Amino acid sequence: MVSSTMGLGIRAYGDDYILANRREYTQLIEVARDNGITMLDTADFYAGGDVERMLGASLGVRRGGFLVSTHGGVRFSRIGSPIIDASPAYLAMACDASLRRLRTDCIDLYYLSGVDPLLPVEESMGKLSDLVTAGKIRYIGMYGASRVDLRRAHRIHPISVLAVEYSLRYRAAERDKLLAAAELGVGAVAYWPLARGLLAGGRRATSELESNGIRAVETEAAELDIGMARLALAWLLRRGDVLVVPGTRNPAHLEMNASATDIRLNSDVCSRLDRVFPP
């Protein structure tokens, strides 16, 4: 479905960040293209839809070989709390809104953001299947779904990818979700591959055990002269058929992240890293 092993997460342009202008956005997308990144990942609720609008304006009608993914199924209450709403009516409305903001007639990959606690996942998946039939969606993904919900949804319509939080620091997905995806032939997408900035030096460790682990990773990175973030991404890319989607708003960081696809870690390094943060 995608030709590269690394995508670009666009969340950093909304939510807790200052929304960048279109020129900065376009520059980052061009850097991604130059570095072989062909997947751009966003969500309809980032900055109230402004991230999708900016992405649509930056790409225009001609997508230039990019695969664009977005998420649907989250709305906000009157007090601003996120609520999973995967009802067929809401998904249909959300999809149409994303199409308008992205300036396209078909979304390459549409994620179900979460399983609605108020109705069976089969109902949500039935509507997404209808949207595929209508030509509004090419592929369906699920975001953080349990293995049970993944199997139930997959029986209604083939799920192309399962997105899970997965990094050298957070490996819980190895225990069940990734196994279930592999059994079904569903691809895996790793979001927050740098452990929400921890493996990029963006935030401090919160425990002595975590601090010791980060120091061990820093030591391995220093010996290889590649930087901790690139080491963490290279380790993840070596895990198999996983699409890694780090997010950044910095073109230089994007280039460094992309260069991790060229790093080949030997088995000894990977074994030592595996022991630093076991699942």
Catalytic machinery residues: 46
C-alpha distances in angstroms, 231 versus 2, 7, 107, 194? Answer: 23, 17, 33, 10
C-alpha to C-alpha distances, 185 to 4, 23, 121, 161, nearest whole angstrom: 18, 39, 19, 9
DSSP string, 62-83: --TT-EEEEEESEEE-TTS-EE
Backbone torsions φ then ψ of 231, nearest 5 degrees:
-65, -45
* C-alpha to C-alpha distance for 77 and 68, rounded to whole angstroms: 27
d(CA 244, CA 64): 21
Pairing of strands 107-112, 67-72: parallel
Question: What is the H or E stretch that residue 89 is in?
Answer: helix 88-102
Quick check: 103 and 61 in contact, CB under 8 A? yes
Return d(Cα 99, Cα 114) in angstroms, integer: 20
The answer to whether 236 touches 193, Cβ cutoff 8 Å, is yes
Rg (CA), the chain: 19
